[in-house]
C-alpha cells in the first residue's frame, strides 16, 4: 500500500508539501494541474515543474488525478478525435515523468455534486460536504453551479472549472435523450483509442465513480454500481483499464457493498487506486461526509481496508475528502487536519490487519 495525499499545487492549495511530508507514512501525492481545461494537452514543461517540486519535497508523484475528458468525447461528437489525440499526448507526457496512474471520470457535465459544501455537523461543530436531493430539485442545474462557486471559498473545485460551467445550458441541451448505452459506447470508443498507448507507456487509467452514485438532472450516469464497474472493465479488456475505487462516491448508495466490490475487482487486477472516505446516510438520497472513523459514518473502514489488504496490497491509497476542523479554512473537503487524521487511522488499520494476517 502506498499512502498518498491529494495536492493542487503551490498556487492553488492551502496545504503545503512540507505539511504533507510530515504526515506519518506519507509516500507521495496524487497530483493535479487545476488550471488545465478539459481537452488541453498537459505540456512537458508544466508536468516537469510540478513533478520536480513534489520530488524536491521528498514525495513521489506517481498518480495524477482529474485529467478531465472533454465533453465532446463523452457526447461522441466529431471533434472528439482531436481531443482524444490531445489526451494521448498528455498520457505520453505524464509517463515521461514517472506517472503510473491517471485518475479520470466519465460523468456527463457534472463532476461530483453537493448541495452544501460547509454543512455544520451538529454533534461537534465541524463542517463537511452534504447532499440532499430534495434541495437539489428545487435548485436546478444553473443554481447549483452558482451556489457551489459561492461556497468554494475562492478555491477552484476539481471538475467545476469555470470555462466548463459557462457552457452549461448548451451542454445540457446536447445531452438530451442520451441513454446509458449510448454513453457507454462513447466510453468504449475512448478506451479503445487510448489503451494501446497506456500499455505501451506503462500507464494505468483509473476511472472514478459517479458522485453521488445515481443519475442527476436526467443525465445518464454509468459508473455507479458493481455491475457498472464490471461492465467498464470489460469495455476494453486490458490490465491498464482500471477503476479508482472511491468508497465515498460508491458508498452514497447504501446498496453498494464496498468491501465485496474491492475484493472482486482487486483480485481481477482492476483497481488502479483507492480513495477512502466515510459517509453518513441521513435519508433517501441525503447524506453528509463523515470523519474516516467507522463509527462516525455508515461504511466499515476495517472491512474496506482488509479487503484492499487481501485483494490489492500494492495499491495507491489516499484519504479522500475530510471535514473542516480546528478552525481550518481552505478548499472544502481538502483541508489538512481531517485528511491527515484519516491517513493515520487508515495506516493504523493497515498495520493491525497486516500483522494479524501473518
Stretch that binds Mn ion, among 146-154, 171-179, 222-230, 244-252 (CB under 5 A): 244-252
> Is the CB of 275 or the CB of 292 nearer to Mn ion?
275
> Is the CB of 83 or the CB of 334 nearer to Mn ion?
334
CB of 57 to Mn ion, least distance (A): 23
Looking up cell 461543530 gives 125
CB of 47 to Mn ion, least distance (A): 22
Distance CA 299, CA 94 (A): 34
> Is the CB of 246 or the CB of 262 nearer to Mn ion?
246
Strand ordering across the sheet containing 278-283? 116-120, 127-132, 286-290, 278-283
> Is the CB of 80 or the CB of 221 nearer to Mn ion?
221
Nearest Cα neighbor of 232 from 265, 199, 202 is 265
> Which cell is 297 given?
459514518
Question: Does the footprint of Mn ion cover residue 184 (CB under 5 A)?
Answer: no
Question: Does the footprint of Mn ion cover residue 306 (CB under 5 A)?
Answer: no
Angle formed at CA 235 by CA 219 and CA 218, multiple of 5 degrees: 5
Stretch that binds Mn ion, among 63-71, 163-171, 224-232, 274-282 (CB under 5 A): 274-282
Stretch that binds Mn ion, among 57-65, 153-161, 223-231, 269-277 (CB under 5 A): 269-277
Question: Does the footprint of Mn ion cover residue 206 (CB under 5 A)?
Answer: no
What is the helix, strand, coil percentage profile of the chain, to 5? Answer: 45, 20, 40
Distance CA 302, CA 293 (A): 9
Question: Does the footprint of Mn ion cover residue 245 (CB under 5 A)?
Answer: no
- Has 70 been annotated as catalytic? no
Half-sphere exposure of 144 (CA within 13 A, CB side): 25
Distance CA 258, CA 252 (A): 11
Distance CA 191, CA 224 (A): 18
Inter-CA distances, 267 with 184, 195, 225, Å = 24, 21, 17
Residue in 84, 246, 271, 315 binding Mn ion, rule: CB under 5 A: 246
- Has 275 been annotated as catalytic? yes
Options 61, 198, 246, 273, the catalytic residue: 246
Question: Does the footprint of Mn ion cover residue 275 (CB under 5 A)?
Answer: yes
- Has 320 been annotated as catalytic? yes
CB of 247 to Mn ion, least distance (A): 8
How many residues bind to Mn ion according to rule CB under 5 A? 3
Stretch that binds Mn ion, among 13-21, 188-196, 240-248, 307-315 (CB under 5 A): 240-248
> Is the CB of 246 or the CB of 271 nearer to Mn ion?
246
Of 314-343, binders to Mn ion (CB under 5 A) are 320
Asked if residues 308 and 346 have their Cβ atoms less than 8 Å apart, the reply is no
Options 321, 337, 338, 345, the catalytic residue: 321
Nearest Cα neighbor of 248 from 224, 273, 276 is 276
- Has 246 been annotated as catalytic? yes
Binding site for Mn ion (CB under 5 A): 246, 275, 320
The residues assigned a catalytic role are 208, 246, 275, 320-321, 334
Amino acid at each position: 500500500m502506498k499512502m498518498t495525499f491529494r495536492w493542487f499545487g503551490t498556487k492553488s492549495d492551502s496545504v503545503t508539501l512540507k505539511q504533507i511530508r510530515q504526515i506519518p507514512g506519507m509516500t507521495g501525492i496524487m497530483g493535479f494541474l487545476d488550471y488545465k481545461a478539459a481537452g488541453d494537452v498537459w505540456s512537458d514543461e508544466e508536468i516537469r515543474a510540478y513533478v520536480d517540486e513534489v520530488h524536491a519535497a521528498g514525495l513521489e508523484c506517481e498518480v495524477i488525478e482529474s485529467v478531465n475528458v472533454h465533453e465532446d468525447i463523452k457526447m461522441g461528437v466529431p471533434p472528439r478525435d482531436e481531443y482524444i489525440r490531445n489526451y494521448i499526448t498528455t498520457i505520453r507526457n505524464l509517463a515521461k515523468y514517472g506517472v503510473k496512474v491517471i485518475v479520470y471520470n466519465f460523468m456527463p457535465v457534472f463532476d461530483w455534486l453537493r448541495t452544501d459544501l460547509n454543512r455544520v455537523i451538529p454533534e461537534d461543530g465541524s463542517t463537511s460536504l452534504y447532499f440532499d436531493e430534495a434541495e437539489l430539485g428545487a435548485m436546478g442545474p444553473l443554481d447549483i453551479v452558482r451556489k457551489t462557486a459561492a461556497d468554494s471559498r475562492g478555491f477552484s473545485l476539481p471538475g467545476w472549472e469555470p470555462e466548463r460551467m459557462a457552457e452549461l445550458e448548451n451542454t445540457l441541451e446536447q445531452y438530451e435523450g442520451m441513454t446509458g448505452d449510448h454513453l457507454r459506447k462513447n466510453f468504449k470508443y475512448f478506451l479503445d483509442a487510448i489503451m494501446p498507448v497506456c500499455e505501451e507507456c506503462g500507464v494505468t487509467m483509473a476511472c472514478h465513480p459517479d458522485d453521488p452514485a445515481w443519475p442527476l438532472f436526467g443525465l445518464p450516469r454509468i459508473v455507479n454500481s458493481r455491475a457498472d464497474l464490471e461492465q467498464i472493465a470489460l469495455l476494453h479488456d486490458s490490465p491498464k483499464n482500471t477503476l479508482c475505487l472511491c468508497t465515498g462516491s460508491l458508498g452514497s448508495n447504501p446498496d453498494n457493498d464496498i468491501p465485496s466490490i474491492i475484493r472482486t475487482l482487486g483480485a481481477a487486477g482492476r483497481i488502479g487506486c483507492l480513495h477512502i472516505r466515510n459517509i453518513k446516510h441521513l435519508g433517501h438520497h441525503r447524506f453528509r461526509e463523515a470523519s474516516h472513523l467507522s463509527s462516525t459514518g455508515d461504511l466499515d473502514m476495517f472491512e474496506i481496508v482488509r479487503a484492499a489488504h487481501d485483494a490489492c496490497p500494492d495499491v495507491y491509497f489516499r484519504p479522500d475528502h475530510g471535514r473542516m476542523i480546528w478552525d481550518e479554512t481552505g478548499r472544502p473537503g481538502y483541508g489538512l487536519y481531517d485528511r491527515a487524521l484519516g491517513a493515520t487511522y487508515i495506516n493504523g488499520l493497515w498495520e493491525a490487519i497486516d500483522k494479524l494476517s501473518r
